Copies of this chain bind each other. A is one copy, B any other.
Amino acid sequence: MNLAQENDSVLLVGKDGKRSLFVLKSGWRHNTHHGFVEHDDIIGQSFGRSVTTHLGHKVLVLRPSLDDLLMNLKRGSQIIYPKDIGLILLKMDLGAGSRVIEAGTGSGALTTAFAHRVAPTGTIYSYDNREDMINIARKNLELAGYNDRVEFYQRDIIEGFDQTDVDAVFLDVREPWEYLTQVTAALQPSGFFGALVPTTNQVTDLLFGIRGTGLWDVEVLEILVRHYKPVPARLRPVDLMPAHTGYLVFARYVPSDAMDSEGVEELDSSEEGVYENGSQG
């Protein structure tokens, strides 16, 4: 069964649609717009049911999903969208036990998603040169209950990473092309590289930088998500959608001695055709 335990994160939803996310602590109270609830009224009960506030209003008690966690992050910087995170997790091939380097940490949205993904045995090594961002991220990870799977490093990554042989490296920094030597020094052969950049100029710079590094099978893409109003008799998209979050760049590390450079070049172009035909699978 699915019972709420002390130290679990919990999501409360009020009648007004107001959501709040917090960690259960025996003896504590949580205030809502419709009165407070006792944590002890939640601990030991199943999720997906309701509790009653001291003013007699029902409030819904849910186990927060990764999506809920991401929506409730304290933000200190730009956010990454679920549409992008879903594909990043897939393309970086993260799974239970993966060891992943990420820079920069930002408010820890991607860190949270990575930590969720590599449970129960993997580790995230998260680098940022700003102490304030690491502090925000640390709090967000704590709320998610994932703190023990993440190691934070406050550092300029031009100095390199402490890990080697990791499964994947993801860069969410302004000039990712400046750190590709550091990236390939940390990656295991066959490992995955990813980056998110907002402008086309950065994509161009990154693609130029990737040449000759052993990063291979390069993909550049963007994702658009369109929500519909869930009204069955008048089905139509919502009025506005995000026009842009960023360009995603993915590649795979193949040390240069693994193949002749001509061979690698050839692969790139043939692979590209697959995606152009829309038959990627």
Task: Determine whether A212 belongs to the interface, using a CB cutoff of 8 Å to chain B.
Answer: no
Main secondary structure on A side of the interface with B: mixed
Task: Evaluate contact between B243 and A238: CB separation under 8 angstroms.
Answer: yes
The distance from the CB of A257 to the nearest CB of chain B, in whole angstroms, is: 8
User: 8 Å CB contacts to B: which residues of A123-156?
Assistant: none
Instruction: Find chain B residues with CB under 8 A from A275 CB.
Output: 227, 238
Question: Interface digits, A255-281 against B, CB 8 Å rule (1 contact, 0 not)?
Answer: 101111011001111111011111011
Task: Determine whether A182 belongs to the interface, using a CB cutoff of 8 Å to chain B.
Answer: no
Question: Interface digits, A214-256 against B, CB 8 Å rule (1 contact, 0 not)?
Answer: 0000111111111111111111111111111001000011110
Task: Determine whether A44 belongs to the interface, using a CB cutoff of 8 Å to chain B.
Answer: no
Closest residue of chain B to A268 (Cβ to Cβ) is B230
Task: Determine whether A29 belongs to the interface, using a CB cutoff of 8 Å to chain B.
Answer: no
Instruction: Find chain B residues with CB under 8 A from A267 CB.
Output: 13, 15, 17
The distance from the CB of A29 to the nearest CB of chain B, in whole angstroms, is: 21
Query: Which of A79, A188, A227: most chain B CB closer than 10 A?
Result: A227
Task: Determine whether A198 belongs to the interface, using a CB cutoff of 8 Å to chain B.
Answer: yes
Task: Determine whether A1 belongs to the interface, using a CB cutoff of 8 Å to chain B.
Answer: yes
Instruction: Find chain B residues with CB under 8 A from A262 CB.
Output: 15
Task: Evaluate contact between B203 and A226: CB separation under 8 angstroms.
Answer: no
Task: Determine whether A73 belongs to the interface, using a CB cutoff of 8 Å to chain B.
Answer: yes
Task: Determine whether A91 belongs to the interface, using a CB cutoff of 8 Å to chain B.
Answer: yes
The quantity of this chain's copies bound in the complex is 4
Task: Evaluate contact between B2 and A189: CB separation under 8 angstroms.
Answer: yes
Task: Evaluate contact between A224 and B224: CB separation under 8 angstroms.
Answer: yes
Closest residue of chain B to A85 (Cβ to Cβ) is B90
Task: Determine whether A175 belongs to the interface, using a CB cutoff of 8 Å to chain B.
Answer: no
Instruction: Find chain B residues with CB under 8 A from A233 CB.
Output: 201, 204
CA distance A83 to B90 in the complex (A): 9
Contact of A235 among B91, B201, B218, B224 (CB under 8 A): B201
Instruction: Find chain B residues with CB under 8 A from A65 CB.
Output: 91, 93, 192
Jot down 11 A-B pairs with beta carbons below 8 A, ordered by A. Answer: A48-B191, A83-B223, A96-B119, A201-B235, A204-B235, A221-B226, A221-B228, A227-B243, A227-B272, A238-B244, A239-B242
4 additional A-B pairs beyond A48-B189, A49-B255, A236-B244, beta carbons within 8 Å, are: A199-B235, A238-B272, A239-B243, A241-B243
The 10 lowest CB-CB distance pairs between A and B, nearest first, are A48-B189, A86-B86, A48-B190, A17-B270, A241-B243, A207-B232, A237-B244, A200-B200, A65-B93, A220-B228
